[in-house]
Structures are given as structure tokens and as C-alpha cells.
Amino acid sequence: MTTPPIQPKERLDSVQLLRAVAAVAVVLFHIPLFGNGAWGVDLFFVISGFIMCYVTEDSGRRFLTKRIIRIVPLYWAGTIGVFCVALALPRLVSNTSTSAVDLVKSLFFIPFQKGAEVEPVLFLGWTLNYEFFFYVLFALSMAVNHRFRAIIASGLILVIVATRYRFPFESVPYKFLGDQILLEFVFGMLCYAIFKRTASCRAQPRSVASRILWTVAGGAWVACMPVVSALGPLQDRVIELGIPATLAFCCTVHGLGGVRLPRPLVLIGDASYSLYLFHPYVIQSFAKVFHAFSGAGVRAYFMAGVAVALCCGLAVASYQYLEKPVTEYLRKRFV
């Protein structure tokens, strides 16, 4: 029995909704009143593993070129911008490195130690180090065999993680890029395998009650992640957050498959990359100008809501007038 192919017309608004949830969670994490939302990163990694398989279903042609076009221009613009601010007005970004070597490493996704953390000039770019490493592994896997790209990439990741923990060398890139959080990309590729094998099921007419049940289950798994995070220090992030993120993804996509969601939700998902990269600087500026988030009164929570809305609005503007036009231009020019 052959596996039904994914229908190209199937809408993935549900994936954009999950991207929006992940991005807003990370925004909330960086607002002092909340401090809960780092799990958005885990959801992003699961989504990324799924999307890389999904977009290469028919062809992996120029895969790395397309991914570079998608993530590098905005990241480089932000990195260079923050670096220049650190040089000119260091008091505004006191923890930002002004080393030219660190700048080059940041631009080319090479992890390096900065104080107690391993993070680039644009500090949230630490996740992009993992993302780009995954893209390279995925491209190598497609070069070996396109059909089995997910299996090969998963095997490579498992070997890398196992090697890192079996042979703990002191190299920063080695320790960083071999972290078990890479396994969340494997979870995302597993989501794709499930998605592909359930295509015929999703194509059949389904009751509203069935869709609601699956969607509520997805929401419940999303809700598990902040609860787990609030209970105390994580003992095993991949298990405690990665598995709920995987189940949340599968349930939500199955429940909302083919459903057209409200445009604002989808738009925030579209703008999630801009929102993720730049929101800390918006929040810091907002807090300094309006002295927000002091105490825990009604005003502080109101200002937090305004800050989140401001971050989302600026991210959508960045997506519409910077990220999207640049990406489209470069794709036409090079792809």
C-alpha cells in the first residue's frame, strides 16, 4: 500500500498559528513580569524540522541557497546594527560584544563563549546557530538520498549528539552544536512523517466536533509547556518540553488542517522571524522610556500588554516592508 502524497493545496495556517504562539511565548519570556516562555524555542525547532521536510517534498534543488536567503539578510542586518550601537552607545547594549572576531563568528553562525553564555552579538541568534547547522545536515542528507533525507538527517543528529556526550571535548562549537536540543529537529521530521501518512484522513470530511477535539488537545499540550517550565528547573529539556511541543504540533495541525484561520494570526506567524529576533530591543527601549514593568500592579500588566502589541506591530511592519521584499528580490535574483 503506497502512502498518499501531500496535497499541494492543503493550507498550513495551523503551522503559522503555532509559529505565532512560539514567538509570542518568547516575547513574554523577556518581559520581567512573566519570565515564562522559553519553551517557544522548542516549538520553533519542532516546526523547523517539519517544514524542511515539507518544502523539499518534490525537490531539494538549491535548498541551502533558499535557506540562506530566508534567514541571513535580516539576521545580518540586525547583527551589524546592534554591533554598531554597541560601538557608538555602549550603555544601551552593555552586554553586547564589540570584538570584530566575535562579529565575524556571529555572522557565520560559529558558536563562541561570551561570559557565562554561548551567544552571538544578536543574542537570540544562538538558536540560528542550531538552525543553520541543521540546514547543513539536511542538505547533506538530500545529497545522499532525497527520498530518505529525513531518516539520514535524523541518523546524523543522533550520532552527533551521542558522540558529544560520549566524548566530551572542550571545544565550544563541538559542545554547543552537539547538544541534545538538536533532537527536537528529529521530532519535527517525525511530525512530517505522521503528517504525510495521515493525508488521506485529513482529506476526508470531518465533523466539527472531531476538529475541536484535536485542536483542544493541541492547545492542552501547548499549555503543558509553561506549566512544566513554572514547576522548576528543567532536568531534561528535550523530554519535558520537546515531546509536548511535538504532540502539540501534531494535534493542532491535524485538527486545523485545511482550515483558513484569521488573517492577523497568520500574519503574526509570517512575521515570527522578525518578532523573534528584535523584540528584546523593543522591550528594553519601551521599558526605559515608560518605566514599565515596575512592581506587579495593574499598570505594569497593562504596559506589558502594550509592549507585546508593539512588538507584534513592529514585527509585521518589518516583515511586510523589509523581510518579505528582500527575500522575494533575492529569490528572483539567485533562485
pLDDT tens sequence for the chain (335 residues): 333 344 444 669 999 999 999 999 999 999 989 989 999 999 999 999 999 999 999 988 999 999 999 999 999 999 999 999 999 888 777 778 789 999 999 999 999 998 889 999 999 999 999 999 999 999 999 999 999 999 999 999 999 999 999 998 989 999 999 999 999 999 999 999 999 999 888 878 888 999 999 999 999 999 999 999 999 888 999 999 999 999 999 999 999 988 899 999 999 999 999 999 999 999 988 988 888 887 778 889 999 999 999 999 999 999 999 999 999 999 999 98
Please indicate, yes or no, whether the overall pTM of this predicted structure exceeds 0.85.
Answer: yes
The residue count for the chain: 335
What is the rounded distance in angstroms from the CA atom of residue 247 to the CA atom of residue 202?
Answer: 17
At residue 145, φ and ψ (nearest 5 deg) are: -165, 115
Residue of 306, 311, 305, 225 whose CA lies nearest to 276: 311
At residue 177, φ and ψ (nearest 5 deg) are: -75, -10
What is the rounded distance in angstroms from the CA atom of residue 41 to the CA atom of residue 133?
Answer: 16
User: 113 by DSSP, 3-state: which?
Assistant: strand
Residue of 282, 324, 247, 317 whose CA lies nearest to 18: 247
Angle at 244 between CA 243 and CA 245, to 5 degrees: 90
CB atoms within 10 A of CB 76: 14
What is the rounded distance in angstroms from the CA atom of residue 21 to the CA atom of residue 252?
Answer: 12
Amino acid letter, 84: C
* Helices 63-88 and 272-290, axial angle in degrees (round to 10): 10
- Contact of 60 with 142, CB cutoff 8 Å: yes
Amino acid letter, 273: Y
